[in-house]
Amino acid sequence: MSLAIGDPMPSFSLPDTDDRIHTLPEEAGSSATVVVFTCNHCPYALAWHDRLLDVVRDYQDRGVAFFFVNPNDADRYPDDSFSAMKERVAREGGWPAPYLRDESQEVARAFGAKTTPDVFVFDGARKLVYRGAPDADYQEPSQRASWLREALDALLAGRLPDRQETEPVGCSVKWKR
């Protein structure tokens, strides 16, 4: 079951690649919170990666909190293991937002995450206002995660996004068997 527009943010505590525990909704942003389910190996997630990090850099000083969550089964997909996540962040010189490990997959299930990436945007009241893809085309960097930016711009302007839901596009979440 997936979250529906207007649903409250699920609570969770997960470790990041620096072994710090992050807890939502306590660490939610004052204006908005973005939770992106992603991973290390999916070509869609990798294609959107830089665009998503650019959004973090452009909005994090405006009361928006960001969290990237990897829920994939690391036994079947070792590139998505916690150690591989740590290596990736270190190799890339760090990320501007926490990269969290959902080993139990409970968080992905609570959100109803379908793909990597799958973007969830919550307003300052911790209600879901956008869910779906970052933009219309993973192969076109000039899109700049425009759907995510539209949602954030609307919230920062004090209104709901015009586009509240799109179909998430990417590799399926790799559920444990």
Residues 6+ apart with CB under 8 A from 35: 9, 24, 67, 69, 111, 119, 120, 122
pLDDT for position 2: 86
- Read off the pLDDT of residues 17-60 as tens digits, 9 standing for 90 and up: 999 999 999 999 999 999 999 999 999 999 999 999 999 999 99
Domain boundaries along the sequence of the chain: 12-172
Q: Which residues of 87-119 are buried (b: 16+ CB within 10 A; e: fewer)?
A: ebbeeeeebebbbbbbbebebbbebbbbbbbbb
Q: Which two tokens stand for residue 56?
A: 């973090």
pLDDT for position 172: 98
Q: What's the rounded Cα separation, in Å, for the pair 37 and 46?
A: 12
Q: Are 100 and 22 in contact (CB under 8 A)?
A: yes
Within 25-63, strands assigned E span 32-37
pLDDT for position 56: 98
DSSP 8-state symbol, 10: P
Amino acid residing at 63:
G
Return the H-helix or E-strand segment holding 109: helix 106-111
pLDDT for position 161: 98
Q: Are 81 and 39 in contact (CB under 8 A)?
A: no
Q: Which residues of the chain have pLDDT under 70?
A: none
Instruction: Write the class of the CATH domain 12-172.
Output: alpha beta
Q: Are 40 and 79 in contact (CB under 8 A)?
A: yes
- Residue 26's CB: how many other CB atoms inside 10 A? 8
